[in-house]
Amino acid sequence: MKKNILVITLAVMVSFSGITHAKNTSVTTEYQNLLLEDDNSVKQALLSEKMKPYSWTPHFKETSTFEEVMNYEGIKDFAKLIFPIKNKGDEKTQLRDLFKLMPLHHNVNPNETLESVEYLANTTDWGLQAFYRIYPTDKSVDINGKVIEHKNVGVFYFRGKADAPYAVIVSGGYSYQSILHEGFPLALELIKKGYNVFVLSNSTLNITQSTRDLTQAINFIHKNAAILHVDPNSYSLWGYSQGAQAIVNLMHKVGRNSFIDKLEAKPNMNAFIYPLRYYVKANDVPSAFVIGEEDQIVNLTILKSAEADFKKLNLRSLFITIPGYGHGFGLGASINVDDSPEWVNKITDFWKNNTANPILKSFAGK
């Protein structure tokens, strides 16, 4: 596990521009800090300050409690967005026992949980911003006069190679936060391949609002791509369960809502991990699906029909079924440090091989 974190740490170090190493034990760095001013503007500020040496530092153990992580200086500002906490007593839960608060999920891996919080701690230690709010205000009013809360909505940024394609991940969970199982572990796998990754933090209870938040996140990244050091026109969307449904609602016009018309640029590919359902549209972008053969929640009949419809319409698609898995498996079985789960490798290859975008085709993510 330590080797895995070190590999990820080095990936972030390489991607981070403007670093000058001092001869003493500290590092003087000019880095970019994003300050959200309004919906269309991000101010770039170059700052110089003394920072710790860029090396992996262990902060937590599998027996560390949620509370210990939440109180860490670099994490406490967004700590409540990470854990599936419903009452004060849940904060005493140890990282290795995360699964106890996630009854709808399986294969919740303590190593992945620990790696995720370590990544966030190290990122903030180095002076890098880990979480970006995507709305200019904490509240807004919709067309029906309903007040919508935005305070806890934003994206966690996992850095890969500068100016590389990026992915946006939307976790599921429905009634509780599943980002430590269905968001961060996948992000850590993708940055090892060089991709930049944004994990959306939002409420999954209201699917329409989740779709609106996803649209806002994509446009935020697109508008600020130069500052974030990502390719604005080469990106993919990855959604788990309810998060996959948010992507469906975005790409397909549902009712009076037409979120796709509000996008600055369409994705090169969408990946749906155990989606609840899917109906094919003639203008669908290349789409990948991952389903456990033992899934009792996903409508496998509808998904098999979707696979046939993709072929009928001559649309590019990839369907992966994993034996022995039910709903909510996250990444899947424990993996080798030097490689990703097979289904992740297949989807990233599918992304590169099924796009006309020359930047993505030439990207050397492995």
> What whole-number distance in Å separates Cα of residue 201 and Cα of residue 131?
9
pLDDT digits (tens, 9 = 90+) for 131-149: 999 987 665 656 456 656 6
**Domain containing 94 — which CATH number?**
3.40.50.1820
| Amino acid identity for residue 157 in this structure | Y
Highest mean pLDDT among 56-60, 67-71, 101-105: 67-71
Nearest CA among 271, 319, 318, 328 for reference residue 294:
328
**What pTM, to 2 d.p., does this model score?**
0.84
| Amino acid identity for residue 37 in this structure | E
pLDDT digits (tens, 9 = 90+) for 239-298: 999 999 999 999 987 656 667 677 888 899 999 999 988 999 999 999 999 999 999 899
Residues in the chain: 366
Q: How confident is the model at residue 57 (pLDDT cuts 50, 70, 90)?
A: confident
Q: How many domains does the chain have?
A: 1
| Amino acid identity for residue 46 in this structure | L
Mean pLDDT of the chain: 81
> Partners of 170 in the beta sheet?
200, 239
Residue 181 has φ and ψ, to the nearest 5°, of -110, -40
Q: Is 36 exposed, middle or buried (0-12, 13-18, 19+ CB in 10 A)?
A: middle
pLDDT digits (tens, 9 = 90+) for 157-181: 999 999 999 999 999 877 788 999 9
> What whole-number distance in Å separates Cα of residue 64 and Cα of residue 66?
7
Nearest CA among 29, 91, 33 for reference residue 64:
91
The per-residue pLDDT for 86 is 87
HSE-up (13 A, CA, CB side) for residue 188: 33
The per-residue pLDDT for 5 is 53
- On whether the CB atoms of residues 155 and 219 are closer than 8 A, the answer is no
Reply yes or no on whether the pLDDT at 218 is more than 90. Answer: yes
- On whether the CB atoms of residues 277 and 289 are closer than 8 A, the answer is no
Tokens of 77: 């500002």
Q: How confident is the model at residue 21 (pLDDT cuts 50, 70, 90)?
A: very low
Q: How confident is the model at residue 6 (pLDDT cuts 50, 70, 90)?
A: low
Host domain of residue 43: 2-362
For the chain, the farthest-separated pair of C-alpha atoms sits apart, in whole angstroms, at: 64
